């Protein structure tokens, strides 16, 4: 029986877990604020320090992290998160700096930002990055703002439409809407690639640009990339690179060299910063030279050996309170310095080798919808020989029983039973062979013991959840929970 308590349920009136300094100035008291004070009840836990530590330690055991086992979650690049990065982010002066401190007292912080910015520009083949966007989707939004601002600056007011392939991540069309532009979705061809004829048909003088992931969300490199960027550029549009799949290209191809003008990078994918259960990540946005002036404020600049901050009139505006998820940026820079150019050159290669090895080993058991080598991730479309109609969901859930995280499932949307596997370069042949063995075993179980798969997982802290109930009952807080149990 796994631990099952909420912190509120450990609460005992008048128990304390904190200690604060004594009062120095008792002549003043918060109660002097009278009418401004809260009158309504405030129910928060009252626990000791040990209660609290033990609670969250037990709660943590119900989670699966990269250090628990293989985490082949497609499109998420769950590589190892080096410990030195954590040490650097936490143990030095950076955590104690206020961004408004005098510039001479934050030179190291500004320099780290600047140097990371330069390194990302080099890796991407672009002119400059802003590290201020907080996440991938935030980066997309900011990148689209750059695109829009560029056209407006040229008084080209008609350009309000963005071309996005139907295979794109959901954030692409959502970011376009938030940026006040219109999505033109184009169909992919049977190989999951951009269909050149559909692209041509979509082009017009109303196109602001195109968003593209390469390798695409099927893990395939767009062979026609040069033709695509040329077509869009000739029509007056800009090319946006969704950096979610950048890991595949490290050391092999730079987005700027493919003709992309704007991109974001997910530092929490390609540059090894931890995902933190869904964030904080960081989504730096980089641009070609002619777009640099539109990057968001505040900017960090360098004059000789002096670093300073600047707000620039031509910038698209401000999109964050300060400099993004700064401690995440430090981790990414630590990663880059650790690897250096020699090892950065090998990331894409080893990630791609691992993915193709899995692809080859599982192709007899799982249906491969696309011919040819994949890049850093491989997509299968469910079980190949499947007399009991076992779904991808069942396969994924059964994997949990074997102590592995499930791949991404039901994405890309192009196939009905997508299983998207991204092993990353930090996984060993032994781990991957074990994964292959388990996947084959599950394929076998699908034939011999289908009921087992349909009720999987059975070895996890909880079993399958009732999502319909959650959406109907709408219990979002402990208060709701108590009310529900009263009824």
Partner 1 sequence: MFKYFPHTKEDINHMLKELNISSIDELFGQISKEVLLKGEYDIKNEMSELEVRNYFRQLSDENQEMVVFSGLGLYDHYQPAIIDAITSRQEFLTSYTPYQPEISQGTLQYIFEYQSMIQALTGLDVSNASMYDGSTATAEACFMACNITRRKKVLISKTLNPNTINVIKTYLKFRGYDFEFISSKNGVFDVDDLKEKMNKEIAGVVVQNPNFFGLIEDYSGVSEMIHEYKSLFIQNRDPSTLGVLKSPSEDGADIACGDCQSLGAPLAFGGPTLGYLATIKKHVRKLPGRICGYTTDSDGKRAFVLTLQAREQHIRRSKANSNICSNQSLMALYVTVYTSIMGKAGLEEVNNLSYQNAHYLYEKLLKTKKFFDPFKQPFLKEFTLETTISHDLISEALFNNNIFGGFSLESISSEYENLINFCVTEKRTKAEIDKLIEVLEGLS
Give residues 277-336 in contact with partner 1 (rule: CB under 8 A): 277-281, 283, 296-297, 316-328, 330, 334, 336
Q: Does 23 bind partner 1 (CB under 8 A)?
A: yes
418-421: strand order across its sheet? 378-381, 418-421, 408-409
Do the Cβ atoms of 460 and 400 come closer than 8 Å? yes
The dihedral built from the CA positions of residue 221, 224, 230 and 235, taken in this order, carries a sign that is: negative
Do the Cβ atoms of 281 and 328 come closer than 8 Å? yes
Q: Does 466 bind partner 1 (CB under 8 A)?
A: yes
Cβ 431 to partner 1 shortest distance, Å: 8
Nearest alpha carbon to residue 336 among 99, 120, 102: 120
| Contacting partner 1 within 192-231 (CB under 8 A) | 221, 223, 225-226
Residue from 371, 448, 477, 486 binding partner 1 (CB under 8 A) = 477
Q: Does 361 bind partner 1 (CB under 8 A)?
A: yes
Taking CB under 8 A as the binding criterion, the range among 195-203, 377-385, 438-446, 464-472 that sits at the site for partner 1 is 464-472
Rounded to whole angstroms, the maximal C-alpha distance in the chain is 80
Q: Does 467 bind partner 1 (CB under 8 A)?
A: yes
| Contacting partner 1 within 125-184 (CB under 8 A) | 134-138, 140-141, 144-145, 148, 169-171, 173-180, 183
**Total binding residues toward partner 1, as defined by CB under 8 A:** 201
| Contacting partner 1 within 382-401 (CB under 8 A) | 396-397, 400
Residue from 46, 198, 367, 368 binding partner 1 (CB under 8 A) = 46
DSSP conformation class of 23: P
Name which of 15 and 447 has its Cβ closer to partner 1: 15
Cβ 21 to partner 1 shortest distance, Å: 6
Cβ 327 to partner 1 shortest distance, Å: 5
| Contacting partner 1 within 111-130 (CB under 8 A) | 111-112, 119, 122-123
What tokens were used for 284?
Answer: 């730096």
At 360, phi and psi to the nearest 5?
-65, -40
CB-based contacts of 110, cutoff 8 Å, min separation 6 = 103, 300, 307, 308, 309
Give the integer Cα–Cα distance in Å for 448 and 353: 32
Q: Does 342 bind partner 1 (CB under 8 A)?
A: yes
Name which of 76 and 390 has its Cβ closer to partner 1: 76
Give the integer Cα–Cα distance in Å for 112 and 315: 22
């Amino acid at each position: 029986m796994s631990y099952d308590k909420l912190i509120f349920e450990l609460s005992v009136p008048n128990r304390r877990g904190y200690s604060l300094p004594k009062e120095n100035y008792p002549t003043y008291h918060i109660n002097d604020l009278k009418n401004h004070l809260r009158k309504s009840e405030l129910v928060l836990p009252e626990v000791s320090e040990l209660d609290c530590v033990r609670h969250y330690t037990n709660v943590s055991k119900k989670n699966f992290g990269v250090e628990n086992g293989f985490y082949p979650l497609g499109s998420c690049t769950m590589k190892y998160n080096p410990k030195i990065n954590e040490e650097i982010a936490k143990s030095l002066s950076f955590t104690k700096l206020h961004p408004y401190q005098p510039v001479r007292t934050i030179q190291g912080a500004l320099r780290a930002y600047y140097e990371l910015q330069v390194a990302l520009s080099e890796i991407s083949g672009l002119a400059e990055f802003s590290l201020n966007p907080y996440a991938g989707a935030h980066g997309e939004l900011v990148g689209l703002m750059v695109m829009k601002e560029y056209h407006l600056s040229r008084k080209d007011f008609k350009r309000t439409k963005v071309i996005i392939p139907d295979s794109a991540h959901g954030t692409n069309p959502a970011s376009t809407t938030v940026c006040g532009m219109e999505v033109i979705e184009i169909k992919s061809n049977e190989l999951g690639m951009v269909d050149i004829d559909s692209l041509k048909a979509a082009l017009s003088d109303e196109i602001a640009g195109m968003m593209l992931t390469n390798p695409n969300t099927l893990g395939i490199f767009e062979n026609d990339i040069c033709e695509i960027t040329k077509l869009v550029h000739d029509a007056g549009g800009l090319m946006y690179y969704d950096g979610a799949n950048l890991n595949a290209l490290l050391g092999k191809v730079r987005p700027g060299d493919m003709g992309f003008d704007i991109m974001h990078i997910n530092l929490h994918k390609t540059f090894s910063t931890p995902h933190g259960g869904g964030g904080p990540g960081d989504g730096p946005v980089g641009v070609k030279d002619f777009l640099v002036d539109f990057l968001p404020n505040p900017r960090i600049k360098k004059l000789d050996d002096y670093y300073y901050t600047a707000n620039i009139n031509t910038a698209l505006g401000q999109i964050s309170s300060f400099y993004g998820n700064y401690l995440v940026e430090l981790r990414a820079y630590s990663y880059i310095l650790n690897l250096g150019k020699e090892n950065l050159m090998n990331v894409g290669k080893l990630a791609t080798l691992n993915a193709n090895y899995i692809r080859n080993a599982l192709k007899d058991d799982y249906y491969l919808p696309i011919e040819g080598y994949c890049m850093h991730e491989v997509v299968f479309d469910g079980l190949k020989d499947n007399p009991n109609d076992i779904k991808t969901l069942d396969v994924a859930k059964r994997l949990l029983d074997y102590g592995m995280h499930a791949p991404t499932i039901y994405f890309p949307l192009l196939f009905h039973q997508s299983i998207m596997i991204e092993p990353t370069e930090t996984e060993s042949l032994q781990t991957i062979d074990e994964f292959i063995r388990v996947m084959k075993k599950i394929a076998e179980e699908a034939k011999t013991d289908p009921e087992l798969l349909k009720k999987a997982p059975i070895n996890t802290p909880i079993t399958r959840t009732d999502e319909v109930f959650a959406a109907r009952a709408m219990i979002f807080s402990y208060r709701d929970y108590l009310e529900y149990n009263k009824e």
